[in-house]
Structure 1
Amino acid sequence: MPSLHHPVTVISRCTVVPHQKSTLVDLKLSVSDLPMLSCHYIQKGCLFTRHHTVPLHALLPHLKRSLSVALSRFPPLAGRLSTDSHGHVFSVSDDSGADFFFAEARSVHVRDVIGGIDVPEVVKGFFSFDGAVSYEGHYRPILAVQVTELADGVFIGCSVNHSITDGTSFWNFFNTFAEVSRAGMKIVTRQPDFTRESVLISQAVLKVPPGGPKVTFNVNEPLRERIFSFSREAITELKATVNSYNKKKLTRGNGDIDGAELMGKQSNDKLNGKDNAKLTEMLESLFARDDVVSVVEKKIFSSFQSLCALLWRAITRARKLPSSKTTTFRMAVNCRQRLSPKLNPYYFGNAIQSIPTYAAAGEVLSRDLRWCAEELNRSVTAHDDGKIRSVVKEWEENPRCFPLGNFDGASITIGSSPRFPMYDNDFGWGRPVAVRSGRANKFDGKISAFPGREGSGSVDLEVILSPETMAAVESDREFMRYVSKK
């Protein structure tokens, strides 16, 4: 029986190979893949409750078969990395296989994982390959799956090489794995696209130091990790606040309409349970009227931009930075649909770029949420096909690994996405009750956005901060008014 001090015990480990041999050609790593060679493996997984009398270890052969079938659809996950004589790095689908671990944590209950304020340390034990750097895929499996049996549930965690997948590709695989398990080996959806014909494929060579690149942040930094949940209603209210026109009137021929009227209508809409896009629809309808004489700028900010603006202000305030200190808010953006021509939505690999927005701490705090959202919106809107290509060109002139971390104490980096289908995973015993991540790629200021389990536009934010900054955020009235109470 695992002790409370060491609650997770690995019982077994084996290699799972694809049930069909791969015919996929070697895939050259792109300019979005190569910078990830210095990053940890992605560690994400789902927590499930189980009420079956059949012990989980009796289902392990089924899960292994399901993984084998899923790997046949995703051959790179059963391969290795290889560097040729010119320095180009490739994903080689050689059917070497993925690692499969079975572990037990019989002293841990589902409530222990999701019931507290901070994410408990035990969650880190639900993932294998802890501390693995993606460059190690030259000799380490690209994928490891760990199934951990809890007292009243099960956690299925995946550790996957970040130079092979981004979040879109990761959850495409995870969804497929679950679908195979649930549907009896029948796969009908989410065919990955392995095409390598875009601007992301380059002749540039990334020079790697002897022994391979290392992570660029302090892995031993003391940190707190907490999940902040935002309900659909709270995000609707936040979005309305950010898009508020209280301070400027919209003048039309037969009188004035001000922001208070619009906000009032939005509040009624919220109480009636209407979709949170109603405010956007109302404003756009008003802007289209011929009798509107003068209006403020026609920008409607999204729920996610509104949430990022809220985060930016709260964390900047909590850090007590000098007003002249430049703060950076980085967002990972999916380039698949921003490129021209567009990539397949299920393009397999990394197709992301990091978009920074800069502002002095004093400006972030002296302006309002709308101003912060507008700055973020400007950066995202400008990141079109031309901008993506310029970022590629700039990287080709100076190939380098991605400098992940908070080097100046004033940075925030947000990744993942509330649009990822994290809860569309039913292995045959129901949907997940929570999504959690491991120790990988975590530093002060790292945020990951997850969909809320209830759906309908709810969002969970996994927030990593220094203990003193986290305590200040928890006391921030502007921020906490939107956070769901447990």
Structure 2
Amino acid sequence: MPSSSVVVVSKCTIHPDHNSTIRSLRLSVSDLPMLACHYIQKGVLLPSPPLSSPDLLHLLKLSLSRTLSHFPALAGRLQTNHAGHVSILCNDHGVEFFHAKAPHLTSTALLPPPGCDIPPVYRRFFQYDNTLSYAGHTKPLVAVQVTELNDAVFVGCTMNHAVVDGTSFWNFFNTLAEFARGAKKISKSPDFTRDTVFDSPAVLPVPDGGPAATFSGDEPLREKIFHFSREAILKLKFRANSPALKPEISGEAVGKQRNDSWGANCKTNGTITSVFGDIVSKKDPTAEISSFQSLCAHLWRAVTRARNLSPDKTTTFRMAVNCRHRLEPRLKPLYFGNAIQSIPTAAKAGELLTNDLSWGADLLHHNVVAHDDATVRRGVKDWENNPRLFPLGNFDGAMITMGSSPRFPMYDNDFGWGRPLAVRSGRANKFDGKISAFPGAAGNGSVDLEVVLAPETMAGLENDSEFMQYVSGETVIN
């Protein structure tokens, strides 16, 4: 599958179909650290549309123009004033639109059987490789590439990470699909409020010429999707919340969890009952370890085993959390920008592996639950006292960074001819230990983990029977 099979045939600039009524938006305490991160690269593989190529391009360009009118910040550029404050200048300069063709690529080739690595050709479906978000001072904040394949089409979106987080990214993408389907108005308008705890007069010192990436990006890596069905995740959740149990869970026990929805509890006769039938205190509805925390702990332990770390080596699992609902008062769910903080959870490799799944899952759970309004505000104050870029990377060989979320509406992107066949990413922000969580294509609580590891670590993970027994459609490699 040679990368040369993808050829860009045209490029143009798309402007909003209405002028912006917003002059500028100052980057926040949550935005500024991302200036040294690559632009986000995410996209969807769609069925072949019942449209000619010219009609398809006209539809997508028109839809993009309409979408930009509701997201005027994305049609602007970054600007740093004399005091050092960085803002988005909403000047309607537009975004770049690329049309590419790859007539020899099929959806079958792009969706190989379980057990195969992600085809590297996906990287050719995105623009602005290795571009740091600081470049938004001169580059567009968004680039959309539409790649026509033999029997499908890929819509790839590259977006400045100092301007958006995953929530804002997918709201934009969903709106683009919504207008392509023929919507006359937007259903989920972004909120451009800047009077929040994240708005700050603090200045981030930036070296002349801009920041440098915090990871090399040159090391050999393998990328793979591991699919976890709802059933498998419920088994992991049961293990995490039942430390006395062995890994093998009976069908009867898992059956008690059928109505689980990412760790949510259900109310019965005025009391709150966990999915295991246990009574949970009304004052502490978060006592239960969630499905996603259980899955993260499972991955953390498996990658730590595959890395063959010394028992006294500290391993760290970083998880990005959405702060919109953690603040008091809450931010609007569609607050535009970054509203995320990173939660590091550390443990000695020996302790993580000699204890059962519940031990590591409990560490992750308590850190997430403890990240409340006061914690968010402490994080803001800490950054204001020491403004710095986000240190993305695996600096000691023992780190894992979890990004994205299975909650994001990635498959709510029917452009008018069918929902996505798959969601994939480009090469941006990838290093040994970078994980991205996507909802499974089948929905119903399934999860796809996009795992990026050093080749020898990936091989160890593939041979890990404790890990692989929960992965759908794969067997341990001998």
TM-score, reference length from structure 1? 0.91
Q: CA, structure 1 residues 153+206, in 2 after alignment: closer, same or farther (shift >3 Å)?
A: same
Q: CA deviation at 1:219?
A: 1.2
Q: CA deviation at 1:231?
A: 0.7
Q: SS state of the match for residue 119, structure 1?
A: coil
Q: SS state of the match for residue 313, structure 1?
A: helix
Quote the residue 2:269 is aligned against: none
Q: SS state of the match for residue 181, structure 2?
A: helix
Please state if 1:417 is matched with 2:405. yes
Please state if 1:191 is matched with 2:189. yes
Among candidates 274, 286, 304, match of residue 278 of structure 2: 286
Q: SS state of the match for residue 353, structure 1?
A: strand
Looking at structure 2, the residues matched to 288 and 368 of structure 1 have their Cα atoms a distance apart, in angstroms, of: 23
Q: SS state of the match for residue 4, structure 2?
A: coil
Q: CA, structure 1 residues 67+398, in 2 after alignment: closer, same or farther (shift >3 Å)?
A: same
Q: Which runs of 5+ in 2 are unaligned?
A: 267-272
Moved over 2 A (4+): 54-58, 262-270, 273-289
Q: CA deviation at 1:64?
A: 0.4
Q: CA deviation at 1:275?
A: 4.6
Q: Which runs of 5+ in 1 are unaligned?
A: 248-258, 290-296
Among candidates 51, 60, 65, match of residue 63 of structure 1: 60
Quote the residue 1:294 is aligned against: none
Quote the residue 2:138 is aligned against: 139
**Is the contact made by 1:266 and 1:278 (CA closer than 8 Å) also made in structure 2?**
no
Bigger mean CA offset, 416-425 vs 391-400? 391-400
Quote the residue 2:34 is aligned against: 36
Looking at structure 2, the residues matched to 231 and 163 of structure 1 have their Cα atoms a distance apart, in angstroms, of: 33
Task: Give the number of equivalent residue pairs.
Answer: 462
**Is the contact made by 2:2 and 2:121 (CA closer than 8 Å) also made in structure 1?**
no
The residue type paired with residue 147 of structure 1 is V
Looking at structure 2, the residues matched to 274 and 354 of structure 1 have their Cα atoms a distance apart, in angstroms, of: 30
**Is the contact made by 1:123 and 1:436 (CA closer than 8 Å) also made in structure 2?**
yes
Q: CA deviation at 1:380?
A: 0.7
**Is the contact made by 1:269 and 1:278 (CA closer than 8 Å) also made in structure 2?**
no
**Is the contact made by 2:401 and 2:435 (CA closer than 8 Å) also made in structure 1?**
yes
Q: SS state of the match for residue 239, structure 1?
A: helix
Looking at structure 2, the residues matched to 387 and 268 of structure 1 have their Cα atoms a distance apart, in angstroms, of: 36
Q: SS state of the match for residue 101, structure 1?
A: strand
Q: CA deviation at 1:113?
A: 1.2
The residue type paired with residue 421 of structure 1 is P
**Is the contact made by 1:47 and 1:434 (CA closer than 8 Å) also made in structure 2?**
yes
Among candidates 192, 215, 223, match of residue 217 of structure 1: 215
TM-score, reference length from structure 2? 0.93
**Is the contact made by 1:14 and 1:100 (CA closer than 8 Å) also made in structure 2?**
yes
**Is the contact made by 2:259 and 2:275 (CA closer than 8 Å) also made in structure 1?**
no
Quote the residue 2:156 is aligned against: 157
Q: CA, structure 1 residues 127+5, in 2 after alignment: closer, same or farther (shift >3 Å)?
A: closer
Q: CA deviation at 1:49?
A: 1.3
Please state if 1:172 is matched with 2:175. no
Q: CA deviation at 1:240?
A: 1.3
Looking at structure 2, the residues matched to 68 and 343 of structure 1 have their Cα atoms a distance apart, in angstroms, of: 27
**Is the contact made by 2:127 and 2:143 (CA closer than 8 Å) also made in structure 1?**
yes
Q: SS state of the match for residue 204, structure 2?
A: coil
Q: CA deviation at 1:7?
A: 1.1
Q: SS state of the match for residue 364, structure 1?
A: helix
Quote the residue 1:26 is aligned against: 24
Please state if 1:267 is matched with 2:257. no
Among candidates 432, 436, 452, match of residue 464 of structure 1: 452
Tell me the C-alpha RMSD between the 2 structures.
2.2
Please state if 1:239 is matched with 2:237. yes
Looking at structure 2, the residues matched to 112 and 283 of structure 1 have their Cα atoms a distance apart, in angstroms, of: 40
Looking at structure 2, the residues matched to 374 and 444 of structure 1 have their Cα atoms a distance apart, in angstroms, of: 25
Q: SS state of the match for residue 421, structure 1?
A: coil
Quote the residue 2:12 is aligned against: 14
Please state if 1:317 is matched with 2:316. no
Quote the residue 1:91 is aligned against: 88
Q: CA deviation at 1:55?
A: 2.8
**Is the contact made by 1:176 and 1:187 (CA closer than 8 Å) also made in structure 2?**
no
Q: CA deviation at 1:228?
A: 0.4
